[in-house]
Amino acid sequence: MLVLRLLNVVAPAYFLCISLVTFVLQIFLFIPSMFRDPSTTPLFSPALLHGALFLFLSANALGNYVLVIQSSPEDLGKSLNLGEGTEVVADWLDGSKFPGSALPSTHFCRLCARVTQRHDHHCFFTGNCIGSKNMRNFVMFCLYTSLACLDSLVAGMAYISAALSMSFANPLAFLTLLPHSISQFFSGALLSSEMFVILMLYLWLGIGLACAGFCCHQMLLILRGQTRYQVRKGLVVRARPWRENLREVFGKRWLLGLLIPVLNVGSDYCGQKEK
């Protein structure tokens, strides 16, 4: 438990550090290097277009990240008056001391010390549980983080290609880039800044693939009307059309949430809470 609590603090700090490094590299290294192309007009230069795209992706990724943290799942333990202490709440939920009292699709998280409705999982990178209240923001966070990493990966490869006069036309060139760069770095033929960018390329690739995988898996569960907690516990869910499952999570204003980071408004869950 101590390791999990430490990870719950270190993981968000690690993500924010990576985001800050990515922003600095994009603004002060990649984008200024694109302005050196004299063949393009200033209005439609790749630097301006790429800068606008990167800012759009970063604003959505960080905005949804903040909303995931702020939109904490509702603590059902307080509304149910289960008593004080984490042991009382946990015993009530799993039905160990009160048979038949366990609530479906709920889970008591010992890290957050709250009962989450439609609990999916505990995200260490946000330090918060993912449930019915912040599921849409979590999916949007994964989507835009993967796109921002892909954008940074392409810009970084373009910078390294121009700095080292190499081509990535061959797919094996990217796989052999790191071992060749390490040997050149220790021989003094490669600058430390260029080596740092090369290391960030592989980090962006890993984070982008991981976030894309999380997003695709989460969307598959949403279409089926399930959560990871239900799948892990083997709980049976009522079969519903996939459109209703999407509407429950993304709401009627899904296009607004796709373009800008907003709260999970307009969903069926929020409508039931307001009633």
User: Please, what's the b/e burial string for 193-213 (b: 16 or more CB within 10 A of its CB; e: otherwise)?
Assistant: ebbebbebbebbbebbeebbe
How far apart CA 123 and CA 12 sit, in angstroms, is 10
Average pLDDT of the chain is 81
**Section 22-36 average pLDDT:** 87
**With contact defined as beta carbons under 8 Å apart, do 129 and 72 qualify?**
yes
pTM, two decimal places? 0.84
How far apart CA 40 and CA 32 sit, in angstroms, is 14
Decide if pLDDT at 176 tops 50. Answer: yes
pLDDT value for 199: 95
Decide if pLDDT at 129 tops 80. Answer: yes
pLDDT value for 36: 66
Active-site position among 123, 142, 149, 211: 123
% residues pLDDT > 90 (the chain): 38
How far apart CA 136 and CA 274 sit, in angstroms, is 18
pLDDT value for 100: 40
Angle between helices 192-224 and 2-25 (to 10 degrees): 120
Task: Look up 123 and say whether it is catalytic.
Answer: yes
How far apart CA 249 and CA 138 sit, in angstroms, is 11
pLDDT in tens, 183-232: 989 988 889 999 999 999 999 999 999 999 999 999 999 999 999 988 88
Confidence band for 114, pLDDT divided at 50, 70 and 90: confident
Q: Which of 121, 143, 145 is nearest to 132 (CA)?
A: 121
